[in-house]
Every structure is written in C-alpha cells, then in structure tokens.
Amino acid sequence: MIEILSSGALNSVQDRGRRGLLSSGVSRSGAMDILALDAANALLGNDRDAAAIEVAAFPFRMRFDVATTVAVTGALAEAQLADRRLPPWWATEVHAGDDLTIAPPTAGARVYVAVGGGIDVPLLLGARATELKSGYGGHEGRGLKRGDRLPLGRRPPGGLPEGGIGAPPPPGRTEADGPLRVLPAAEWAEFSEEARERFVSVGWGVTAEADRQGCRLDGPELMRERRRELLSHGIVPGTVQVPPSGQPIVQLAEANTCGGYPKIATVIEADLWRLGQAMPGDALRFAVVGRDEALAALRETAQWLDGLRKAASLYRVS
Amino acid sequence: MADEFILSDAGTGAMLLDVAKGSAFDEGRQARLLALAESLSDAHGVEDVVPGMNNLMVTFDPLAVDAGEIERRLLEGWHRATPIEDSGRSHDIAVVYGGPDLQEFAAGLGLSADDVVNLHSAGAYRVAAVGAMPGFPYLSGLDPRLATPRRALPRQGVPKGAVIVGGGQAGIMPITAPSGWHILGHTDFTLFDPHRAFPATLRPGDRVRFTIAGVER
C-alpha cells in the first residue's frame, strides 16, 4: 500500500486510458502526458498498462508502507525521497516507511509517480484511469486526498541498482518551445486564408480554462468564410475546435467523444503530451505537417520507449 | 447525390467520414452508416468506430494499419452499405419542463413556452448516435420549428438529467458537464452506469418519446 499524505483534488490515478468505448460516450481519459507515464513504467519494468499517479497539484506527499520501486517523470520538479533528492526522470528502490515529496514544478504542469507493479485500483471499463469529469474509475472516481490508501500490483522481478536509473530526454523534450505539429482537420479549408495564416503564425496564450478536458487558447479571432452549423461528430484528443467566438479550444484526455464545433486541425499524437504540460500563460505555436511526418514522429517516440525499456531491463538486478 | 461524402484526417490515428454534405440530418444515410459501423468494428488495427450524426469516425493504431487502408475500407464500405434492419428498443422518458433557458429559447423562436413543451414532447425520436459524454444520446426527430444554433459560448455546468436541444438535435445530459445546448427541462432517467458491461442505456437505433411529467414556471 501507499498512503497519500498531502494532495489536491487534481491529482489522480491514471493509466493509458480507455480504448474502444468512444461509441458509448466513454472518453479515453488516461495520462495527459502519456509519454512520461510510459517512460516511468518502462524504467520500472512495469506493464505498459500499469497505473500511476498524475500529480497536478503541489506539493504532493505520499508514504510507502512496503519496500518497492518508484519512478518520477513528467514536469521538472524537486522530488525528495526520504533524505535523497531524485534527479529528473529517475527510478529507484524505496524502503518501507519512506516518504516522497514533490514540490511545484519549475517547468511543466504534471508529474508522474509510478510504483513497481502499478497502482492496483479496480479495472473499470477496461482501465484504471480516473475520469474526473464524470466521476468514475481510478480511486473512487475522484482525485486523491490526504489519508487515501492505494493498493499496489505485484512488482516485476529484479531490483534497481543502488542510486537508481534515469531516462535520457525523450524526443522533442529539449526543444519544448518549438511548434505543436498539427494535421489539417475537416473544416480547415472553410477558414479564410487569413485565419489559416494566423493559426500557424501567432503565439497562442494558454488561458486559465485548461484542464484534463481541454485547453482554451487566447489569440486573434479565427473566422470561417462559410458559417454553418455542423452535425455532431466523433472527436479525438488533440482536436482543435473553433467555436463561434473564434478562440480555439484544444480537446484533451477527458474530451467529450463527440462535438459540433468546426475543427481547424488536430495536434498529432506524438506532440499531445506538450498540452498536458502547458501552464496558463504559456505561449503555443502550431505548424502544419503531413501524415508522413506525423507518423514518423509517432514511430520515433515508440522506438525511444522501446530502447528505454530494453536499457532499463539490462540494469535490473535479479 | 446520395453517395457524396467528405473524408478527413482527425489526427494520426483517426478518420472522419462525413456523408451529410452540409445538409439536414437524413435517417436513411444514418441507417447505412450504422451498417458500415458494424462491418468495420472487427477490422484489423481499428480501435473505435464512432457513429455521429450522418458521419462516422474510425480510430485506429496508425503503427499497425496504414491510414490509406482505413480510407479504402471506409469508402468501399460506404458505397456497399445497406441499412440494417430496424431493431431498436423503445423508451418513454418523463420530463419536468422548465429551467434557465426555456422562456428565452421560446421567445427567440417567436413561440410560447407551452408551444415549445408541446412540440418537444410530441416528437418521435430515434437515437442516431451515442457519445460526447458517457451515454449521451443524440436524438433525431426534433421538430424543425425547435431548431436553433447552439449557444455562442458553452455553459460550464449543465446539470445531469437536463433535457436539451442544440441545432436540429435533441439530447439528455447523462452527467453534469459543459454544453452549448439549450435546456428545456429535466428527467431522472438513468443514461449511464459504468459498472454495466454496456454502460450506455440507449443505443443507436433505439426509439425515444418524452412525456410531460410537469411544467415549472
């Protein structure tokens, strides 16, 4: 078991989310920065579907009842395990009774804390992810609070070397102020040339209306040349909608599964984590790419994770 | 042309087939889409097949299946698709009409609140699609006299059970959530239970009638 000593309601149990239930209106949910979650599980030798804690409210403190392993990835934040300061994107052994404290990030919004064997809350609709918006899944369908005790899965065999192991920077992490890559979406051509030009040339401010469901952006109005009501249609995380106000909203992990607003573009899957790490006041830029580049970026991420998983397994002591 | 369509990318791992061509919702095209949806659900690499209103989104693992292959399946499937037999179940849903939007909504249409209640409860609705929120039914069959654009800015908390309309569509809120639709009343009908194998109560093809349980002023 682990025990939560200090938390905010935005901290929740998350895994890779629910698949195959969009047609029942069940959002994907899951980690906002899936790459960071995947990396944490890879470092520990966990199943890729293992659940971790997504920390978005700080400081966060928890205690381990048992000796196990822990990995901390995602936003750059001071992580203190017992009397040790952990380097970023690090995995290490923990002793029973150790406390882990995560301070507010210096860069990024969400830290991932994965534990050997994963957080073993019940599977619901195929996943352990918390759906905060609808109040189901994860730990009692809600964010974590002080006194919550979470069961752990069976940790994989072998231990981590003394001092722990770290992950190299994933693709794109070091040039985090580059543009978010997008594919044009269904209504792209209905926006005026000026609107399309603005979309890719200005910096978009992340507003305070940014959560697991979506992120409203602030910038010049994007007008369509043809105004018509659309019939409701399926949407995915990453969809950039433009409501009649002309201010874009990027749909994220807990996005509604269908929407009715025009879609100018979709952020490619490989870059979605950046929206999970965006803070109000940050400026975002967009760049249009083609299918090939989007796919190449996804492959690059998958290969990086494969490499990390293999490297971590070499360090595991049996 | 019945077979016109628009196909677009929805990111790396999803594609949207839109057969509405910007016109009003068509029951016949929807029945064909539901048949297409069923035929695609077991296809290699496909994760989700999501019927919308006269459109269909397919999500897939782009590292397991080529986008071009999904494109081909969608187009060939659409041309071949014939409507599936009408097998929907029927549901009567009791509504207490009233709430924050009813008066303004009626006034905007040049109708009285009673007219709106009568027109809304007289309709024979079909579940065209389920989505947006867990178990949310997109209902076709709204009287065209009640069709209005959605609100310019979505409202942040539309309560669970709210009976709503937006554009030419009707629906019911399964949970409290943001929505840009107009609120006409409230029901206690359960639309979603995550502990059931089929969490959504209503499914595409089902029939719905609204009955008047009361009108609040």
Looking at the structure, tell me whether residues A150 and A15 fall in a common domain. yes
CA-CA distance, A250 to A247, in Å (whole number)? 10
pLDDT at res. B1:
44
CA-CA distance, A183 to A291, in Å (whole number)? 7
Looking at the structure, tell me whether residues A10 and A137 fall in a common domain. yes
pLDDT value at A31 more than 90: yes
**What distance in Å separates residue B8's CA from the closest CA in chain A?**
5
pLDDT tens readout for residues A212-248 = 999 999 999 998 887 777 888 999 999 999 998 899 9
Looking at the structure, tell me whether residues B148 and B53 fall in a common domain. no
Residue A65 lies in a domain: yes
Residue A133 lies in a domain: yes
Q: Are strands B207-215 and B90-97 parallel, antiparallel or unpaired?
A: parallel
Residue from the list A23, A136, A213 with its beta carbon closest to the beta carbon of B50:
A23
Residue A130 lies in a domain: yes
Give the mean pLDDT of B69-93: 89
Give the mean pLDDT of B66-74: 95
Query: Do the Cβ atoms of A24 and B67 come within 8 Å?
Result: no
Query: Do the Cβ atoms of A260 and B149 come within 8 Å?
Result: no
Query: Do the Cβ atoms of A260 and B180 come within 8 Å?
Result: yes
Domain boundary among B59, B80, B101: B80
Residue B85 lies in a domain: no
Decide if A105 contacts A58 (C-beta within 8 A).
Answer: yes
Query: Do the Cβ atoms of A231 and B175 come within 8 Å?
Result: no
Residue A306 lies in a domain: no
Residue A313 lies in a domain: no
Residues of chain A with pLDDT > 90, as a percent, come to 89
Q: Residue holding tokens 């957080």?
A: A119
pLDDT value at B204 more than 90: no
Residue A312: what are its φ and ψ, rounded to 5°? -65, -35
CA-CA distance, A22 to B13, in Å (whole number)? 14
Choose among A94, A96, A131: nearest CA to A18: A131
Residue from the list B8, B55, B130 with its beta carbon closest to the beta carbon of A23:
B130
pLDDT at res. B86:
66
The count of structural domains within chain B is 2
**Domain span at residue B23?**
6-80
A183 at interface of B, judged by CB pairs closer than 8 A: yes
Q: What confidence tier does B197 reach under pLDDT thresholds 50, 70, 90?
A: confident
Q: What is the DSSP string of B131-174?
A: -SSTT-EEEE---GGG-BPPPSS-EEEEPTTEEEEEBTEEEE-S
Query: Do the Cβ atoms of A239 and B10 come within 8 Å?
Result: yes
Looking at the structure, tell me whether residues B121 and B59 fall in a common domain. no
Q: What confidence tier does A278 reach under pLDDT thresholds 50, 70, 90?
A: very high
Query: Do the Cβ atoms of A136 and B194 come within 8 Å?
Result: yes
Residue from the list B12, B16, B134 with its beta carbon closest to the beta carbon of A233:
B16
Residue A308 lies in a domain: no
Looking at the structure, tell me whether residues A188 and A150 fall in a common domain. no
pLDDT value at A176 more than 70: no
Choose among B18, B37, B28: nearest CA to B140: B28
Find which of B50, B55, B142, B206 to mutate to test the A interface (most A CBs within 10 Å of its CB).
B50
Residue B96 lies in a domain: yes
Looking at the structure, tell me whether residues A11 and A125 fall in a common domain. yes
Structure tokens at A158: 């072998």
pLDDT value at B67 more than 80: yes
Residue from the list B54, B175, B194 with its beta carbon closest to the beta carbon of A125:
B194
A302 at interface of B, judged by CB pairs closer than 8 A: yes
Residues of chain B with pLDDT > 70, as a percent, come to 97
**What distance in Å separates residue A15's CA from the closest CA in chain B?**
17
The count of structural domains within chain A is 2
Looking at the structure, tell me whether residues B96 and B69 fall in a common domain. no
For residue A213, which residues of chain B lie inside 8 Å, CB to CB? 178
Residue from the list A133, A231, A232 with its beta carbon closest to the beta carbon of B177:
A133
Structure tokens at A296: 């190449």
Give the mean pLDDT of A11-32: 96
CATH at residue A224: 2.40.100.10
pLDDT tens readout for residues A71-101 = 999 999 999 999 999 999 999 999 999 999 9
Decide if A239 contacts A185 (C-beta within 8 A).
Answer: yes
Residue B1 lies in a domain: no
ipTM of the complex: 0.94
Looking at the structure, tell me whether residues A184 and A41 fall in a common domain. no
Residue A156 lies in a domain: yes
Residue B30 lies in a domain: yes
pLDDT at res. B23:
76
**Domain span at residue A17?**
2-167
Domain boundary among B54, B80, B106: B80
Structure tokens at A112: 């991932």
Average pLDDT of the residues of chain B: 92
CATH at residue B42: 3.30.1360.40
Looking at the structure, tell me whether residues B48 and B132 fall in a common domain. no
Task: Give the orientation angle of helix A291-315 with respect to helix A34-44, to 10 degrees.
Answer: 20
Looking at the structure, tell me whether residues A131 and A195 fall in a common domain. no
CA-CA distance, A309 to B105, in Å (whole number)? 57
Q: Under 8 Å CB-to-CB from B132, ≥6 apart: which residues? A: A25, A232, A256, A257, A258, A259, B138, B171
Between residues B148 and A267, which one has the greater pLDDT? A267
